[in-house]
Amino acid sequence: MVFCGRVNPITGSLDWVEEDENYDYHQEIARSSYADMLHDKDRNEKYYQGILAAVRRVKDRGEEAIVLDIGTGTGLLSMMALTAGADYCFAIEVFKPMAEAAAEIVKVNGFGDKIKVINKHSTEVTFGPDGDMTRRANILITELFDTELIGEGALPSYEHAQHNLMQERWEAVPHRATIYAQLVESRRLWSWNKLLPMQLDCRTIQPPPEMQSCPGAPSVCDVQLSQLSPSDFRPLSDILVVFRLDFSKQISSSAVSHIVSFTPLADGTAQVVLSWWDIDMDPEATITCSMKPGWLYPALQPVPWRDHWMQCVYFLPEEKKVTEGGETCLIAHQDDYCVWYNLTNPSAADTSYTDSPACHCGAHITWNRARFGELNDLCRMDKYKKALKEILTPSTVCLCVSDGSTLPMLAHSVGAAQVFTLESSSVAHQLMDKLLETNNLKETIHILQKSPDKVIAADLGDRKVTALIGEPFFTTSLLPWHNLRFWYSRTSLSENLASDCLVLPISASLYVLAVEFKDLWRIRSPCGNCEGFDISIMDKMIKKSLDFHESQEAEPHPLWEYPCRALSDPTKVITFDFQNKVPTEDMKAEGSLNLVRSGVCHGVVLWMSYQLTENISTSTGLLEVSDETGNCQWYPHGKQAVYFFSSLWNLGLDPTDSQTSVTYQLTFKPQLGDVRMSFIPQC
């Protein structure tokens, strides 16, 4: 066993946790997309068809079929190649625990003498009599792709392998890839990238100029575009072919730009590029695996579900007006790991390389995209505005405890006498300082870059705080209850609070709901037998990790992207009273979730709801349940916690049986700032 130091996201303290020395490896595998990929039947079938065709082409030339499989994972594609008639396979896997698993899997399936698993990065693999490979390959199989296609270093890996490990002529599976893009106008998507002007009662809060001109974060936003409503965006272009990569020819990882000329479909403001890719498994493009969003499929055609490959949202460096019928150029810049876009007039189109966008305003470093969306949610902010009007007066001394919050400006706008706000980092402090300066509020709203336990009376002008407010939101939070850091802050600040200090929110409540997922369950589903191969060792590795926290752990997921049905009624299990200090004793709850709908119960969702005042509340989880179908609508600006059942994947629960339920036991441990949990289906 080893001790690992971890910063507690609730208390802010450094905790030393005793863990198995291989725990992180097991976690890496358990939380990866291996199960999702192995259950992607469309992907598996297309790969096998492509491999079979490639082996035939090599055999038809009278050659031995020698395969190089880069990023073999479980060894599935290597075993497919041997089954398709290949003579030998070199399977490369850089992640040691996965390489060890692959070696055992190919041995169990009877391929141990024809598949050599090499535990190296592919660019470190050597060829020669004493090298890792004693023969050059003539079939190159890879699954090095991410949502952006090239984000996992596919291009350098291809370039090295083709130069150093392949014969002069080779077949590639996949054979080629095609990148598609569509230019759109979308307030919802744009609100993930920019802080938009916020209308208060008597003024408009404007973002700083450097934030308005900032190109944003360099990383792509990957999302399940199928879950966007058609009303969330307006197409300004047709679907455009941006560039293609032919993997049967020498690949270059050098930076390059691609210009695509098009005619806009309508007048509008270009803000966002939606993008996805297809891979053709054969030269004739008769075997194609597509990542296109669900709304591009014919009405009756099933849509393959994938979480390991989604779709891309790219933000333009700045908004640009386009005119229907006027020629416009979309420029895709590509280096060895990522893609980014610019929009320009044909006369100004330039294929010369430009650096990838990088944040220079600090906001995209401090806030993630969900946080931008949250700050720009007008309905949400209106609730806070109404709540603040109920508790603030011209004599109020107000202190805000939340990271990067606009609540101090709301508090000032409704008339608080003095407003202070705590910021946890220097970057957040600078960002808030710029925001206040832009709106001439530096003299009326005071920033304290201190932890709550370090605040003294002099910091507050020797006055007691009469209103403590928070959203609550903290950048360190991953799970819903991590924002209980507000409660710990309130406790640390007790000496600075007036005896009649009002606290907003008044309280928070933890809710639970038993659900049936349409697809998300696949990421934690046992692999067992996959396409005729025994992959059960993966189940053992995943179970070892999940069992470690079987009665404690849930994981965060943005459920607006993952449809599910409510099988029980939402149930409040624990309420946290912010008007009082954090207790010293554990808070426990136990009971049963009676199932009110039929279905397969894959797990339980947990979220927090905040009572801002007696009459105003806001949820960070379930927003609505359809009475007829049980379909759930989730809060779109954050992640909910999901507890997956690890051993009862296919448990059918019949609501006509009065015994059908899910029992729960939850314990909030104040010393750890953690929620321990156990959910057990009963039928």
For residue 399, give the nearest of 279, 334, 284, 489 by alpha carbon. Answer: 489
For residue 411, give the nearest of 436, 387, 433 by alpha carbon. Answer: 387
Cβ neighbours around 62 below 10 Å, total:
6
Please give the distance of CA 95 from its chain centroid, rounded to a whole number. 22
Contact between 473 and 370 under an 8 Å Cβ cutoff? The reply is no
Give backbone dihedrals phi and psi of 349, rounded to 5 degrees, phi first: -65, 135
Question: What are the distances in angstroms from CA 327 to CA 214, 323, 352, 670?
Answer: 26, 8, 20, 62
Long-range CB pairs of 100-103, under 8 A, 24+ apart, other chains included = 101/29, 101/74, 101/537, 101/538, 101/541, 102/72, 102/73, 102/74, 102/75, 102/78, 103/75
Q: Give the active site residue among 143, 171, 185, 516.
A: 143
Radius of gyration of the chain (CA): 28
Identity (one letter) of the amino acid at 393? T
Identity (one letter) of the amino acid at 280? D
b/e sequence 291-326, b meaning 16+ C-beta within 10 Å: bbbbeeeeeeeebbbbbbbbbbbbbbeebbebeeee
Contact between 246 and 318 under an 8 Å Cβ cutoff? The reply is no
For the question of residue 100 being annotated catalytic, the response is: no
Torsion of Cα atoms, 394 then 484 then 373 then 435, to 10° = 50
Place of tokens 């202190």: 399
Alpha helices in 61-131 (DSSP H): 76-83, 96-108
Question: What are the distances in angstroms from CA 284 to CA 69, 276, 291, 669?
Answer: 22, 21, 19, 61
Using DSSP bridges, classify how beta strands 587-594 and 555-557 pair: parallel, antiparallel or unpaired.
unpaired
Token output for 158? 């291809």
Identify the DSSP state of 302.
P
Q: Give the active site residue among 28, 152, 319, 390.
A: 152
For the question of residue 18 being annotated catalytic, the response is: no
- Report the catalytic residues: 143, 152
